Structure 1
């Protein structure tokens, strides 16, 4: 099951910076984020638990002590297998404005080895200690550590680009991003391929071709994935009837939905709902 959307990154820690970052320790259970992309460099370090992570067609199973670096505008998804505790760091390319002009063409090593991970997480922990310190001087120290960290990434973790991982690939994502945004906002309603194609003034057939070319997935897979994600989150966080959640998630073909849902989670919605009840009462 493959799909993506553009993700808007918001401040999680306020430092009055001229750009928005997300930097925090996350404790979560059974979270599913379908394919998406953003104009940020993202680093995830797994403290404990297990996360199935996918960057384009590359699959990773992250366990305790693993790290993943997601380059800007790379489509990626994640699925937590039960409970997971991790450090999440996301910084926009705008942080490099006036400092490193060619940052859009930079590609960083996606899967650091054990020694590299130790080096990077040590820096992240120093930054976290400044975030938690209420002294005003710690804000200054945080900014210093932030750019030290970015320097290490740029100087030690750059990798050689290929045609499919460089600017060429990104231009394709940007071309169909209006379609992604439209579907992300309207997936709960009836959406036709023709409506989506009109957004970028192409035929439905051409949209199918370029969507597949630049994402290696179909338009319908993308739409279904957003609906599955919305359904799954509601299943976890509300006590609404499954039939109601289906309708609210824009799902009309139950047979197709159940098949794709089981591909993603290995279980039916009823099984997940029952597991939740046992966990609450147990």
Structure 2
């Protein structure tokens, strides 16, 4: 009688594994603001309705229905939503693509695609959303297959440079220079912050630190710190019943006149108006 034995399959390094975490969400938000930040993920934003303002370093893009943006990894960027906005957000670690495509984590992709230019990628994202929500048998496999189709299209049709070294004053340079300061500010923005102390973190003069912020974020150092405080204030405004003066104090905001001017510039209305609107909806 012929005998059979169990075969142990070992992983061949010529192939790749899928052991990485992605984020894929349908987001609907009103008057949202995210200050400059960065991450080692490639991020795709596809707007389904409303208007989203995206800043990548000192470039500004306005995304309306059908527009798509690709934020390359290690690029300083911020987002602003005026009014109600619905969009798809997809994030994948840049390094995860190296298992499939050598050096893929250093690719540079087109940053902005108009409605006419984004059809191909937008269509795949919508199919991914449908698969993610369907719950039908095989939907997870369908989602993963669409994800790799999306990545294939990005690499073959929307890659504009091979690596960061080919782009002078790249986002990676900005992150390398500013990340220690930004990390410090994100942890301490509610406290008194000295420009000279922040500059000492990366061993530059206060004047030079101001130039770096202006060059890479199109904001002054003071404006950036205020943007962190405003974003935190807004979250508290929407999620607590604390009085406005308490929220101001809790977020390190002392100059109300400057704060109110910048808040209205970002959200289009006063904090009181936002709170009234939220209370009406509830």
Deviations 1:195-221 (Å, cap 9, x if unpaired)?
222322333333233333333322211
Q: By how many angstroms is 1:247 displaced?
A: 0.7
- When the two chains are superposed, the root-mean-square deviation of aligned CA atoms in Å is 2.7
Show the counterpart of 1:271: 273
CA contact (8 A) 1:35 1:77 kept: yes
Distance in 2 (alpha carbons) for counterparts of 1:276 and 1:122: 34
Gap change, CA 1:143 and 1:203, over 3 Å in 2: same
Q: Does 1:102 align with 2:129?
A: no
SS at match of 2:247: helix
Structure 1 residue 258, shift from structure 2 partner: 2.0
- More displaced, 216-225 or 203-212? 203-212
CA distance in 1 between partners of 2:264 and 2:162 (Å) = 36
User: In the alignment, which residue of structure 2 is the partner of 1:27?
Assistant: 28
Paired residues, number:
265
Pair 1:245-2:254 in alignment: no
Q: Is the 8 A contact 2:108 2:163 kept in 1?
A: no
Matched ranges for 1:144-223 at <5 A: 144-159=145-160, 166=167, 168-169=169-170, 170-223=172-225
Higher mean alpha-carbon deviation, 194-203 vs 225-234, is at 194-203
Question: Scaled by the length of structure 1, what TM-score is found?
Answer: 0.82
User: Could you give the per-residue CA deviations for residues 153-209 of structure 1, whole angstroms, max 9, x where no partner exists?
Assistant: 010012258999836422232222011111111111112122222322333333233
What SS does structure 1 have at the residue aligned with 2:51?
A: strand
Unmatched segments (≥5 aa) in structure 1: 1-15
Looking at structure 2, the residues matched to 113 and 267 of structure 1 have their Cα atoms a distance apart, in angstroms, of 28
> Aligned partners of 1:175, 1:59: CA distance in 2, in Å?
21
1:252 partner SS: coil
1:34-183 aligned within 5 A: 34-134=35-135, 137-159=138-160, 166=167, 168-169=169-170, 170-183=172-185
Unpaired stretches in structure 2, ≥5 consecutive residues: 1-16
The corresponding residue for 2:230 is 228
